[in-house]
Amino acid sequence: MTYSLVKPSAKILPSFLSALDEGKFIAMQLGHGDWAKEKIVADPNGYITLLNDPAPFTITRNEQHYSITEHELLWITRNGTDEFLGTIAMRYAGNDELIKVYAWHIGMAIRPGLLNKGYGIRSIAVCMDEIRTRSMERGLTFLVATCNETNTASSRLMQHFGFQFEERYEDKLFGGYGLRYKLVF
């Protein structure tokens, strides 16, 4: 069984929509494209266009505005099918405090019905080379990722792929304490 990273598309949208029926889908996209299912169904083309739009987007926390200027969203699929398995949100550049303190370069989410079944580990194993290549094309020489300190699945996943623990920090934007990991290419 193998996996691909693809751009969000109308072809895969039905599988994405069925994933939303499996439970709360916590897509680590900093709110970008967090539309309710009804809104997506009413405007599927608008939704796909938004997900693929490279224009900067802004998030607001504690009345401060933070912009992500270079980013892309990729969907994980089962190779050769239109089955949606999860998301990889890449943030290559943006507001320093947001990018370099709290959100960093990469956010990943597996669809609710497939959590804790090894999909995270297996799909990253297949897709890591492509993530590295896409990052290096944009001038990155390392990737940093963070998770809430209670998120064992995320911290285990990062450790599996050679991310080194850097720091536990107070997460003033999203709450609680975060763990920061770094992978040097």
163: part of which helix (H) or strand (E)? none
| Tokens linked to 63 | 């009345």
Residue 109 near ligand COA by CB under 6 A: yes
Sign of CA pseudo-dihedral 149, 98, 157, 76: positive
Question: Cα 60 to chain center, whole Å?
Answer: 18
Q: How far apart are CA 153 and CA 46, in angstroms?
A: 32
What is the per-residue binding string for ligand COA in 128-147, x denoting contact by CB under 6 A?
Answer: -------------------x
Residue 116 near ligand COA by CB under 6 A: yes
| Residue nearer to ligand COA on the CB measure, 95 or 155 | 155
Within a 10 A sphere around the Cβ of 32, how many other Cβ atoms?
17
Residue 127 near ligand COA by CB under 6 A: no
Q: Which stretch binds ligand COA (CB under 6 A): 48-56, 61-69, 101-109, 162-170?
A: 101-109
Q: How far apart are CA 22 and CA 78, in angstroms?
A: 18
Q: Are 115 and 160 in contact (CB under 8 A)?
A: no
Q: Tokens 């050769």 map to which residue?
A: 80
| Residue nearer to ligand COA on the CB measure, 10 or 165 | 165
| Residue nearer to ligand COA on the CB measure, 15 or 44 | 15
Residue 16 near ligand COA by CB under 6 A: no
| Residue nearer to ligand COA on the CB measure, 44 or 101 | 101
Residue 173 near ligand COA by CB under 6 A: no
Chain contacts with ligand COA (rule: CB under 6 A): 26, 28, 107-110, 115-121, 147, 151-154, 156-157
